[in-house]
Amino acid sequence: MGSWAFKFFIFLVFSSCNAFATVGTLVDYKSIDSRSIGSIGLDTSSFMYKAKGRDTSATTFEASLGGQFDTAILHGVGSAQFFTFVNNSPQLGFEAPELYLSTQKNLLDAHTITVGRRKFEWSKVDKEWNMMSLWSPRFTWDQIYPETIGMTGLFYTYETPRFKFMAFGSPIAIPERGTPISEENGNIVSPNPFWNPLPSQLSVQGAPTQINYTLLMPALQDILLRPNFAVRGYYDLGEGFWLSANAGVLPVNMTQLAAEPYYYHGNINVNIRPQFPMRNLYTAEFGYNDSSKLWNAWMSVSYEKPFNFENNRNWLNPVITPTSVVSLGTDFQVTNNFRFDGAILFVREQEFVRDSSLPNINVDLPTRYPLKQGIKAAGTWSFSDTNEATVAWIQDLVQSSNFVSFDLQHKIFSANMSIGGGADLMLANTNKGWVGQYYGDDRLRGWLKYAF
C-alpha cells in the first residue's frame, strides 16, 4: 500500500515540475521572484517501557525542501519531506504537504484559481483535534503528532473584505500515509513504533491456537480513482463575529481496516481488508475573534454519512456509520508570554449490531473516531525569542484516560539550528480509545534541526 502511494506521489512531483517548467517558458525569467529553504534533522524517541513489536527507541532522519516563486500572473509553492528510520527496519517516507500553482490577485482580481495540493482552513476541528482528519488529510509518520497536508485537485476562491467562497474538485483521492503495513509470515507488521501488533495466538478450549492473517488489497484504481468535491462559504458578521458552512463529497482520509475471521482446518484465519470509503460531509461553524487578537472562541457542528463502504455483519471492527461531531474551543492571551488553548469534543456514532455467531476474537484495529468524547487544555510560554515551552493535556472522557505532553525548544539563530526535548505520558488502564491505543508507549523525545 505504501509503495503504490509513493510511486503515485513521485509521478505527481515530476508532473508538477514539468508544469512549472512549461509555465516558465511563457513568462520572462527575469521577472520571477523565487525563494527556497531546506532543513535536515534527527528526531529520536526513547520509550520508557519495552513492548512487543518495537524497540525501546526509534530515531528518524528528516529532510525537507521548500520553495516558492512569484511572477506578475502566477504564484507557485512546492515542498517535499523525506523520512527514514535510523535504527529500525529500513523504510522511506515521502510527503509533499503543498505543491501548487495559483493565479495572482492582479490577474483575476477577487478570483483565484489553484491547481495542485494546497492547504486551506476547512474546519477548526482539524487544527484542534489532529486525530480527527475531518476535512484535511494528514501525514502520520508520527501518529501522535500528525502533520496536516493539503487537498489535491482544482481550487477556486472568491474573496471580498467580508465574504469568502471556495470550491474544490478532484478526480482522485489519495489516502493518508505514514504508517505502512505489510503481511509477513501470516502476520500484519509495520516499522512504525506506534503500530499495535495484532494478536498472534488465541486460547481455544484452553489450547493456544495460531492466528493467520491475510492482507487483501483492492485494485490501485479503486483506491485512487474516487472523484470528490467540496464547497465552503465564510462570512464576517462584523464586530468580530463570523460564521462558515461547508458541504462536500469526500473520501475518508484514513484507510479503514476491517477484519474478517473464519475457522479453517482447526486454525483461526483473519482476512484484513483495507477499505477506502467515501462520505457526505457537512460542517457549520460560528465564532468570535477579538480585534486585538487577545482571544477567540468558536463552535463547530458536523455530520458525516459514509458510502462505498461494506459494513459486513461477519466482520470485526472498525465499522463506519453516520456520525455527528460537535466541538467548542477558545484560546486567549493570559500574560505577555503565556497563551492558553482549550476545547471539548463530542462524537456520536450510530450503533451497528454485529453477528452474535462471530468467533470470540478481538482484533484491535485503528478506528475512524478513536476519541469519542474529550477535553483538551494546552499552554505555550515564550520565555524569549529563543526559548519556548508547551504543555498539553487531553482526557478521553469515555475511557477515563489521559495524555500529557511537554516540549521545550531552544533556537540558535546564529547557527540556523534548533534543539529541543519533550515527553509524552499515556495515563491509561486500558488499550481502548485514542490514549489507550498507545498504552505503554510513554516516551522521552529529542530533536536537532538545521535550516539552510
Q: For the residues of 396-418, what is the DSSP string, one character each?
A: ETTTTEEEEEEEEEEEEGGGTEE
203-217, 261-275, 288-302, 331-345: lowest mean pLDDT where?
A: 203-217
pLDDT on residue 264 = 75
pLDDT band at 353 (very low <50, low <70, confident <90, very high): low
pLDDT on residue 272 = 86
* Strands across the sheet containing 207-215: 201-204, 207-215, 267-275, 256-264
Q: How many CA atoms lie within 13 A of 359 on its CB side?
A: 20
Nearest Cα neighbor of 409 from 448, 451, 450, 452 is: 448
184: three-class secondary structure by DSSP: strand
Domain of residue 322: give its range: 2-451
Q: Is 331 in contact with 373 (CB distance < 8 Å)?
A: no
What is d(CA 143, CA 141) in angstroms, rounded to the nearest whole number? 6
pLDDT on residue 356 = 57
- Is the pLDDT reported for residue 257 higher than 70? yes
pLDDT on residue 7 = 42
CATH number of the domain that 363 lies in? 2.40.160.10
276: three-class secondary structure by DSSP: coil
Determine which helix (DSSP H) or strand (DSSP E) holds 115, and give its type and residue range: strand 111-118
Give tens-digit pLDDT for 101-144.
999 998 999 999 999 999 999 999 999 999 989 999 999 989 89
End-to-end alpha carbon distance in the chain: 33
pLDDT on residue 361 = 57
pLDDT on residue 306 = 92
Q: Is 101 in contact with 150 (CB distance < 8 Å)?
A: no
Determine which helix (DSSP H) or strand (DSSP E) holds 20, and give its type and residue range: helix 2-24
- Is the pLDDT reported for residue 51 higher than 80? no
Average of per-residue pLDDT values in the chain: 86
Q: Which residues contact 219 (CB under 8 A, 6 or more apart)?
A: none
104-113, 153-162, 305-314, 372-381: lowest mean pLDDT where?
A: 305-314
Length of the chain: 452
Largest CA distance in the chain: 78
Q: Phi/psi of residue 91, each to 5°?
A: -160, 125
| CB-neighbour burial class of residue 90 (10 A; exposed 0-12, middle 13-18, buried 19+) | exposed
- The domain tally of the chain equals 1
Q: Above pLDDT 70, what percent of the chain?
A: 87
pLDDT on residue 182 = 80
pLDDT on residue 90 = 64
| Sign of the dihedral defined by the CA atoms of residues 7, 11, 16, 18, in that order | positive
pTM: 0.86
pLDDT on residue 56 = 85
- Is the pLDDT reported for residue 204 higher than 70? no
pLDDT band at 23 (very low <50, low <70, confident <90, very high): very low
Q: Which residues contact 395 (CB under 8 A, 6 or more apart)?
A: 374, 375, 376, 401, 402, 403
pLDDT on residue 186 = 80
440: its cell numbers: 505503554
